[in-house]
């Protein structure tokens, strides 16, 4: 769709519910897949809650959109990073997060889980390496 | 430099829209190019022509429209008949607009609504316009929480 290929970083900073930022950010990622860019997602601060398993929204009457994250591998997303400090300061570990698989349909290359926990230095690098940061 | 601007917050409630306006105005006055201003989340409320602030306050919606008019924040495109036409590049996200009741004639017809409220200097379009703005510009600058 475009001859220019840029490194996109979607920076997710907000809890999944309480505000609409997380859900509408996910919508940008899904639509953006059609543009064949190099896409990475980074979750920091309360944004790490977006990837937690066992979300139950029945008490707040809102749609539970967490299953959508598991399909991101089908939307041109090959790398998902989670900030370690944000996880640890909320009492969470990698075991609390969904696993997201990725497969290249042409080469049949498979990655079982593209979710990676990274330290603050890597978070800085990821931002530095990106051409565009979509901040939500 | 060529900029794309993203506005994520509604007018008056939040300073993001004012800051985005001032940044855009300053960039244009310095001779930079604004490829597109994209309104997302509650930012779509910057595009209603029905806003009526008190007389001694700034009119945020009209101010955007006047800036777009003065500095030609617009592009050339082709209409259905293949004729070249000018389109505004103050773009309101359709998905966010539908949730929040920002409506143009096309949307009113499609969703059987009895009114429209989009300001004529704004247009409603898809999220692809944000992605395209990020690809085509040197910088995407995001305003919001």
CATH number for the domain harbouring residue A63: 3.40.1260.10
- Residue A1 in any domain: the answer is no
pLDDT at B144: 96
| Dist. CA B85–CA B79, nearest whole Å | 6
Q: Which residues of A touch B8 (CB under 8 A)?
A: 21, 136
What's the Cα-to-Cα distance from A62 to each of A18, A27, A43, A58, B9, rounded to whole Å?
10, 16, 22, 7, 21
- Residue A28 in any domain: the answer is yes
Contact B128 A31 (CB under 8 A): yes
pLDDT at A86: 98
- Residue A95 in any domain: the answer is yes
Contact B41 A37 (CB under 8 A): no
pLDDT at A105: 80
Q: Using CB atoms, which residue from A2, A28, A132 is nearest to B127?
A: A28
State the pairing for strand pair B123-125/B84-88: unpaired
Q: Which residues of A touch B131 (CB under 8 A)?
A: 28, 31-32, 35, 37
Question: pLDDT digits over A100-120, tens only?
Answer: 999 888 888 899 999 999 999
Mean pLDDT of the A78-86 span: 97
Supply angle C-alpha B101, A21, A98, rounded to 5.
130
What's the Cα-to-Cα distance from A12 to each of A50, A80, B85, rounded to whole Å?
9, 11, 38
> Is A134 in CB contact (< 8 Å) with chain B?
yes
pLDDT at A1: 52
Contact B41 A132 (CB under 8 A): no
Q: Which residues of B touch A2 (CB under 8 A)?
A: 132, 135
Contact A2 B126 (CB under 8 A): no
- Residue A124 in any domain: the answer is yes
Find the residue in B nearest to A11 (Cα). Answer: B142
Q: Which residues of A touch B41 (CB under 8 A)?
A: 20-21, 24
pTM above 0.90, yes or no: yes
| Dist. CA B53–CA A76, nearest whole Å | 44
Distance (Å) from the alpha carbon of B109 to chain A's nearest alpha carbon: 24
The answer to whether residue B39 is catalytic is: no
Q: Give the number of domains in chain A.
A: 1
- Residue A128 in any domain: the answer is yes
Question: pLDDT digits over A6-56, tens only?
Answer: 999 999 999 999 999 999 999 999 999 999 999 999 999 999 999 999 999
- Residue A78 in any domain: the answer is yes
Contact A32 B127 (CB under 8 A): yes
Mean pLDDT of the A43-72 span: 96
Q: Which residues of A touch B144 (CB under 8 A)?
A: 135
Catalytic residue among B27, B60, B61, B93: B93
- Residue A35 in any domain: the answer is yes
Mean pLDDT of the A70-85 span: 94
| Dist. CA B98–CA B107, nearest whole Å | 8
- Residue A105 in any domain: the answer is yes
Distance (Å) from the alpha carbon of B65 to chain A's nearest alpha carbon: 25
| Tens digit of pLDDT at every position of chain B (145 positions) | 999 999 999 999 999 999 999 999 999 999 999 999 999 999 999 999 999 999 999 999 999 999 999 999 999 999 989 999 999 999 999 999 999 999 999 999 999 999 999 999 999 999 999 999 999 999 999 999 9
Closest to A8 (Cα-Cα) out of B132, B44, B64:
B132
Q: A63 lies in which domain range?
A: 7-135
């Amino acid at each position: 769709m475009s001859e220019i290929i840029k490194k996109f970083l979607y920076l997710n900073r907000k809890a999944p519910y309480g505000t609409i930022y997380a859900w509408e950010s996910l919508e940008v990622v899904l639509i953006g897949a059609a543009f064949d860019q190099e896409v990475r997602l980074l979750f920091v601060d309360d944004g790490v809650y977006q990837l937690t398993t066992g979300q139950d929204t029945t008490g707040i009457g809102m749609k539970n959109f967490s299953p959508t994250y598991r399909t991101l591998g089908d939307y041109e997303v090959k790398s998902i990073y989670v900030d370690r400090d944000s996880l640890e300061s909320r009492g969470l570990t990698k075991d609390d997060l969904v696993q997201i698989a990725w497969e290249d349909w042409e080469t049949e290359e498979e990655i079982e889980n593209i979710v990676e926990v990274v330290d603050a230095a890597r978070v800085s690098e990821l931002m530095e390496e990106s051409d565009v940061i979509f901040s939500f | 430099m060529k900029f794309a601007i993203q506005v994520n917050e509604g007018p008056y409630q939040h300073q993001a829209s004012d800051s985005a306006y001032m940044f855009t105005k300053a960039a244009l006055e310095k001779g930079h190019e604004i490829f597109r201003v994209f309104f997302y989340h509650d930012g779509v409320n910057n595009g209603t022509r029905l806003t009526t602030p008190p007389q001694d306050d700034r009119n945020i919606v009209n101010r955007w429209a006047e800036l777009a008019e003065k500095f030609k924040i617009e592009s050339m495109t082709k209409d259905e008949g293949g004729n070249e036409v000018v389109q505004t590049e103050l773009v309101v996200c359709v998905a966010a607009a539908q949730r929040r009741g920002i409506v143009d004639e096309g949307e009113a017809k499609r969703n059987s609504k009895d009114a429209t409220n989009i300001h004529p200097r704004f247009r409603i379009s898809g999220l692809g316009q944000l992605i395209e703005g990020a690809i085509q510009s040197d910088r995407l600058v995001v305003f919001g929480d």
